Chains A and B, each alone.
Chain A
Amino acid sequence: MEEFAQQIINGITLGSIYGLIAIGYTMVFGIIGMVNFAHGDVFMVSAFVALIAFLILTSWLGVSSIAVALVIVLAVAMLFTSLANWIIERIAYRPLRGSFRLAPLISAIGMSIFLSNFVQVSQGPRNKAIPPMVQGEFVLWTDHGYAVTLSFKQLIIWGVTAVLLACFWYLVARTRLGRAQRACEQDQKMAALVGVNVNQTISITFVIAAALASVAGTMYLMNYGVVSFSDGFIPGVKAFTAAVLGGVGSLPGAVIGGLLIGLIETMWSAYFSIDYKDVAAFSVLAITLIFLPQGLFGRPEVEKV
């Protein structure tokens, strides 16, 4: 029972990270119908930007307050990753809009290969480990010598995820920008006719996706304390699985899907087999797509002649 409770806490933490990345997939798929293959690598790049920002703050500028450092690192990671994703969209995806169906997919796969190798070449192939940023934990309760703990960093991840999701929800549901974004999702031509700047809206979608991915990247770095150039692919696929499970195009679905994938993965690792933990996510992906292609909250796709 205690172990189970602990696994739920760990699963929610992991799931928050997946959920944040999944939103990027779901938004981009919703608006231009493309699986943004490079999104996982954008997440990885953001973790590297966060790593470098953290090192500059702590070892050069001597910032000792972790709270201040974390806020600045988050802001820097969001800024640079958003800029990078904006440029990527501009260069690699925009010229292919409305083109042959496979072209954006191949372009995104190429971008994914490019990004991971760019980081490998520029930062070296070794794992980058930093000392723990946040230490300490709450002991929730102890039973039979097994303590259920909630560490501070897990609490920060939950808090940051919840706050940013609230901001993000407000942005999409209540602002002019969010309305334009939803309009483009439904019908780009009509949205353009009523005066929505479609290109700009799509650009902003990529910026938001990257900003949320960079939050995930910073949290990932804080949680595990280690990042490498190849860390983009597996979390990317898992986050995509989360987006599919929640229903592609559905924002609450992405978050709930992320939490579910996080829970499934930790439970599978704890009670079944840690070697096969990636099989869990991949199987969920295959099973969902085969038996429930519209996901938990998505709209079923109607086949038109």
Chain B
Amino acid sequence: MTTTTTLTAGATRRRRPRSATSLTRSSGLGLGIALTWFSLLVLIPLGLIVIQSADGGWHTFHDTITSPQTASALRLTILQAFYVTVVNVVFGTLIAWVLVRDEFPGKRLLEVIIDIPFALPTIVAGLVLLSLYGPKSPIGLNVANTERSVFLALLFVTLPFVVRTVEPVLIELDPEVEEAAASLGASRFTILRRILLPALAPAITAGAALAFARGISEYGSLVLLSGNLPNHTEVASVRILTYIENGDKAGAASIAVILLAVALAAILLLQLLTRAVAKRG
């Protein structure tokens, strides 16, 4: 749903010629107001994080992120976000495939289910997972307070990203190309490798970038589920919170700036891929 950037070349092709005008006086005023608001709300506060993290100098930054507890939190966060991204690439693509190419009663319901992790408050997501995979699990599977709980929570909250970026591309993709390849003797593996994967790769990458960015920044769903055990299940955002509570804003900003850089990198990658696809289409 909203978390997706449409990577379809078709959407770009259908676009009518843009007849944008340069700014008039009233629209210029509107832009001024909008930019001021956006700066006050988003740009200046985020900029202050960068300034704050640089404030203590390189040593503060270095000492913070190499302190054993923080380094362990960063390692756990990045590693679990990476695993979750890999699972999402496989299952997200598969889910998108089933949603587009398969027909069965209740498919519309599936569309709603995919978006639930996005719309559900994160603290509720944690509670929800805890009731099936926690100490009172009806299936006897208790992952609470282990590294697996981090994996599970991230898997839940990142579910929609790859599905929603791959789905529109798959809708645009004409199955006749695959049928033609098959009639010319291509094996199913060849079709997958030569036709499907090249077409879907930008969308999968974009979805994976979004999922990874979301994964490393997750907080709410982990609060109840992971137990926040230092050196064990504590993630980067929980570390930031601890620094804030201890009044160490420079320390908090040092970790925050890393998360911020990954978020920016994900958006940059997304923009580049969207542009590349638009050009090719």
Q: Are chains A and B native binding partners rather than an unrelated pairing? A: no
**Which residues does A use to contact B, with CB under 8 Å?**
none
**Which residues does B use to contact A, with CB under 8 Å?**
none
